[in-house]
Amino acid sequence: MANFDILVHVRRYEGESLAATVALTLAQRLQAHLLGLYVAALGSVAYSTLETVVFQVQEADDLYETALAQRDVWEKRLAANGVAGEWLVAQGEPVEAICHAARWCDLIVAERPQLTADAPIGWGTVSRTVFGAGIPVVVVPETAKPTSVGERVIIAWNHSREAARAISGALPVLRLAKQILVLDGAEQQSLVGARHLPQLDLAVYFARHGVAAEFRPFTPTSEYGANILSNAHTMAADLIVMGAWGHSRIAELVLGGSTRYLFQHSDVPLFVAH
Closest CA to 272 of 122, 198, 170, 145: 170
What mean pLDDT value characterizes the chain? Answer: 88
Q: What pLDDT shows up at residue 1? A: 67
Cα–Cα distance list, 203 to 88, 157, 181, 220 (Å): 39, 11, 12, 21
Whether residue 162 is predicted with pLDDT greater than 60 in this model: the reply is yes
User: What DSSP letter does each residue of 85-148 carry, written as one string?
Assistant: EEEEEEES-HHHHHHHHGGG-SEEEEEE-TTTTS-SSS-SHHHHHHHHSSS-EEEEETT---S-
Domain parsing of the chain, residue ranges: 5-141, 152-273
The residue-averaged pLDDT of 143-157 equals 95
Categorize the per-residue pLDDT at 188 as very low, low, confident or very high, splitting at 50, 70 and 90. low
pLDDT by residue (tens digit) across 222-252? 889 999 999 999 999 999 999 998 655 544 4
Q: What is the pTM of this model?
A: 0.90
State the pLDDT at residue 118.
46
Residue 191 has pLDDT above 60, yes or no: no
The answer as to CATH 3.20.20.70 being correct for domain 5-141 is: no
pLDDT in tens, 92-116: 999 999 999 999 999 999 999 865 5
Instruction: Name the class of domain 152-273.
Output: alpha beta
DSSP bridge partners of 181: 154, 214
